[in-house]
Amino acid sequence: MHERCFELADDQGERDLFVLPDSTHNIVRLVGQIDANGNWITISNNQRQLPERVEDSAGRGFLLAVEDHRGHPLMRSIAMQPAEPEIDTDPELLVSYDDDASGTWPRSATARAT
């Protein structure tokens, strides 16, 4: 698959980076941002084009767990792992979500301040 890339820049020097995959859907995906100081984040997507990992210029990596819920993607958890771990370590769970009693809205099951 060939992807076309482009960026949008504002007058403050911040840039949003996008890709447009060669597909029939023509849906643009945000894949990164760079601020005026050169700090950046990148967003990696899975096969379904849902975000699964976010990395930043400080060396942090965030793993996003998304699953289907009633036919729609739903964020289930966010864990932190160094972008380039020196040893094989388990990600540190930051927050996880469960459904509320009605099953229509996620509620935070666990949360940790960073």
pLDDT tens figures, 73-100? 888 899 998 766 666 778 888 988 876 6
Percent over 70 (pLDDT), the chain = 77
- Report the distance separating Cα 34 and Cα 12, nearest Å: 11
Q: Residue 73 phi/psi, 5° resolution?
A: -70, 140
pLDDT (0 to 100) of residue 9: 93
Band (pLDDT 50/70/90 cuts) for residue 14 is very high
SS3 111: strand
- Report the distance separating Cα 14 and Cα 44, nearest Å: 20
Measured on CA atoms in the order 111, 68, 64, 87, is the torsion positive or negative? positive
Q: Where are the domains of the chain?
A: 1-37, 39-114
- Report the distance separating Cα 43 and Cα 57, nearest Å: 12
User: Is 64 a residue whose pLDDT tops 90?
Assistant: yes
Task: Look at residues 38, 31, 1, 27 and name the one whose alpha carbon lies nearest to residue 17.
Answer: 31
- Report the distance separating Cα 98 and Cα 76, nearest Å: 7
